[in-house]
């Protein structure tokens, strides 16, 4: 029979998109079981056109589950993913708990699909949404040109911080709409008040150079993830990565500017050809016609969108790019679903090496 799938964290921002994606993609699943915190148990959510009741996260909830997708906080995954794995499920985890574990593959199906097969802990990790929003395009360029260095800045949407991030921006928008705020020091902050939700500063009418928690020497956890995860996915453990992560008042879709240096000279035509044909990438690059990717157009779509492809002014071995990806789709739910489908193919015997 078809494998049984569990969606753990079904009621969150990513969970909601996951249920849409499972309803839209080719259906490889038998039962789909929805699991969430005790607080959400008993709610009914639609998936594949049917109402399914959410069950509470307990050990027994994993009985008979072949593959379990987790989108829950790090500490919940750290506790429960090994429990699900011990019960026989292959876990595809979208938290930060396991991504850098050497015994857990970190998988992007367009870039390193084979890594999924070696999973001694029974856990496969899904990358962070910021890494995922650029890595499919970079993986394609790396395969051809050999990546040597990255310099990246992110422009991250508020839904990266979950439902609370979206609610915070919407509430702040209603406080400033129709006003002349944004013209005097501190006027936006006073209008918004002390409660800035998951962000350290007002995000409306603003740009906040921070995502995640404080790490050593002033780095943010998000910046460390972009560097460490890019290295692991691309198989370049020493890749120099300079990164600054920034939150902007966009609901969904992360954008990044990328300076990518390669092992030899590159041409814009060569890069455009690779990007135009790479699976999962759309080249949208005609500045003369005002065409470049923006979150307003990219939101709700699956691919990684690339525009503003230029050769670095002062380095013939480097490219400048602007990249957008829906952080809830490819950045989270879609990549998780694609990984789960790779594992499901093993159950159907389409891949001989299971384990």
Residues involved in catalysis = 129, 254
Q: Given the complex with ligand 2RA, which of 256 and 281 has the nearer CB atom? A: 256
Q: Given the complex with ligand 2RA, which of 225 and 261 has the nearer CB atom? A: 225
Q: Is 14 annotated as a binding residue?
A: yes
Q: Is residue 211 a contact point for ligand 2RA (CB under 6 A)?
A: yes
Q: Is residue 222 a contact point for ligand 2RA (CB under 6 A)?
A: yes
Q: Given the complex with ligand 2RA, which of 55 and 129 has the nearer CB atom? A: 129
**Shortest distance, CB of residue 128 to ligand 2RA, whole angstroms?**
5
Binding segment for ligand 2RA (CB under 6 A), chosen from 23-31, 32-40, 58-66, 154-162, is 154-162
**Shortest distance, CB of residue 81 to ligand 2RA, whole angstroms?**
16
**Could you say which of 156, 252, 304, 336 contacts ligand 2RA (CB under 6 A)?**
156
Judge whether 100 and 232 are in contact, CB under 8 Å.
Answer: yes
Binding segment for ligand 2RA (CB under 6 A), chosen from 36-44, 125-133, 173-181, 298-306, is 125-133
**Could you say which of 161, 169, 266, 271 contacts ligand 2RA (CB under 6 A)?**
161
Judge whether 275 and 283 are in contact, CB under 8 Å.
Answer: yes
**Shortest distance, CB of residue 221 to ligand 2RA, whole angstroms?**
9
Q: Is 11 annotated as a binding residue?
A: yes
Structure tokens at 275: 């990007």
Three-class HEC string of the chain: CCCCEEEECCCCHHHHHHHHHHHHCCCCCCCEEEEECHHHCCCEEEECCEEEECEECCHHHHCCCCEEEECCCHHHHHHHHHHHHHCCCEEEECCCCCCCCCCCCECCCCCCHHHHHCCCCCEEECCCHHHHHHHHHHHHHHHHHCEEEEEEEEEECHHHHHHHHHHHHHHHHHHHCCCCCCCCCCHHHHHHCCCCCCCCCCCCCCCECCCCCECHHHCEHHHHHHHHHHHHHHCCCCCCEEEECCECCCCCCEEEEEEEEECCCCCHHHHHHHHHHCCCEEECCEHHHCECCCHHHHCCCCCEEEEEEEECCCCCCEEEEEEEECCCHHHHHHHHHHHHHHHHHHHCCCCCCCC
**Binding-residue total with ligand 2RA (CB under 6 A):** 8
**Could you say which of 160, 197, 280, 293 contacts ligand 2RA (CB under 6 A)?**
160
Q: Which residue is nearest to ligand 2RA (CB)?
A: 160
**Could you say which of 126, 130, 335, 338 contacts ligand 2RA (CB under 6 A)?**
130
Q: Is 117 annotated as a binding residue?
A: no
**Shortest distance, CB of residue 222 to ligand 2RA, whole angstroms?**
6
Judge whether 256 and 151 are in contact, CB under 8 Å.
Answer: no
Judge whether 339 and 24 are in contact, CB under 8 Å.
Answer: no
Q: Is 174 annotated as a binding residue?
A: no
Map residues 267-306 to x or -, x wherever contact with ligand 2RA holds by CB under 6 A: ----------------------------------------
Q: Is 220 annotated as a binding residue?
A: no
Q: Given the complex with ligand 2RA, which of 156 and 172 has the nearer CB atom? A: 156
The footprint of ligand 2RA (CB under 6 A) covers: 128-130, 156, 160-161, 211, 222
């Amino acid at each position: 029979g078809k494998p049984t799938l569990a969606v753990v964290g079904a009621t969150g921002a990513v969970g909601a998109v996951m249920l849409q994606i499972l309803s839209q993609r080719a259906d490889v699943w038998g039962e789909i079981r929805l699991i969430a915190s005790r607080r959400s148990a008993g709610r009914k959510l639609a998936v594949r056109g049917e109402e399914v009741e959410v069950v509470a996260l307990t050990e027994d909830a994993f009985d008979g589950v072949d593959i379990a997708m987790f989108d829950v906080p790090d500490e919940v995954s750290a506790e429960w993913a090994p429990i699900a794995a011990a019960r026989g499920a292959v876990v595809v985890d979208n938290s930060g708990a396991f991504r850098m574990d050497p015994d857990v593959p970190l998988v992007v199906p367009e870039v390193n699909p084979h890594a999924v097969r070696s999973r001694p802990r029974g856990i496969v990790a899904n990358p962070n949404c910021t890494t995922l929003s650029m890595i499919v395009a970079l993986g394609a360029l790396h395969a051809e040109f050999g990546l040597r260095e990255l310099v990246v800045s992110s422009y991250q949407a508020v839904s990266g911080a979950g439902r609370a991030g979206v609610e915070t921006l919407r509430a702040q928008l209603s406080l400033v709409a129709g006003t002349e705020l944004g013209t005097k020091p501190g006027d936006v902050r006073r209008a918004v008040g002390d409660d800035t939700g998951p962000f350290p500063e007002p995000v409306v009418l603003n740009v906040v150079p921070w995502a995640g928690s404080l790490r050593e020497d002033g780095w943010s956890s998000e910046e460390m993830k972009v560097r460490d995860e890019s290295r692991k996915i691309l198989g370049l453990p020493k890749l120099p990565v300079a990164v600054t992560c920034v939150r902007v008042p966009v609901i969904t879709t992360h954008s990044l500017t990328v300076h990518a240096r390669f092992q030899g000279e590159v041409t814009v035509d060569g890069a455009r050809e690779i990007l135009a044909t790479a699976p999962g990438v759309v080249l949208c690059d005609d500045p003369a016609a005002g065409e470049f990717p923006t979150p307003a157009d990219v939101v709700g779509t699956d691919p990684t969108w690339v525009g503003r492809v230029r050769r670095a002014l002062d380095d013939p071995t480097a490219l400048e790019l602007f990249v957008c990806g829906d952080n809830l789709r490819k950045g989270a739910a879609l990549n998780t679903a694609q990984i789960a489908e790779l594992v499901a193919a093993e159950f159907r015997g389409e891949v001989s090496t299971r384990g």
